Amino acid sequence: MKLKEFFKERPELVLRIGLALPFLIFGFDKFIHVYIWTPWIPQWLAGILPITPQLFMYVQGTVEVLIGLSLISGFLIVYSSAVASIMLLLIIITMGYNFTSVRDLGLLMIAVYLLIKSKKN
């Protein structure tokens, strides 16, 4: 079976991989470049966090990697797509309208689709 035919018969897998890759890439990057990510924490949130911004980013990165692994493996998709949807919605609301939020809106739509689709199964 050719790769094109393989993915043509599995459109949900394409969406899962497409959503998983940004979560995996950004999740792992939070461990490698934590100080690049900490300025992205909104001031209001940084002021009420009971942990350091660096530790918050490590927790965030861990959650993102787990979401990505779940989506790729097909294990607990309903939970990973629900958490991804909530995270992306919060990012969009917090960031306001910009290039990042437009990209995240597209990812949010994929996450919502996977959530709805996985709840039916």
Nearest to 80 by CA among 112, 57, 40, 58: 112
CA distances in angstroms from 51 to 45, 46, 48, listed in the order given: 11, 9, 9
What's the chain's Rg over C-alpha atoms?
15
Give the per-residue pLDDT at 38: 93
- Decide if pLDDT at 121 tops 70: no
* pTM exceeds 0.95: no
Q: Model confidence over 17-43: pLDDT tens digits?
A: 999 999 999 999 999 999 999 998 888
- 3-state SS, one letter per residue, for 11-76: HHHHHHHHHHHHHHHHHHHHHHCHHHHHHHCCHHHHHHCCCCHHHHHHHHHHHHHHHHHHHHHCCC
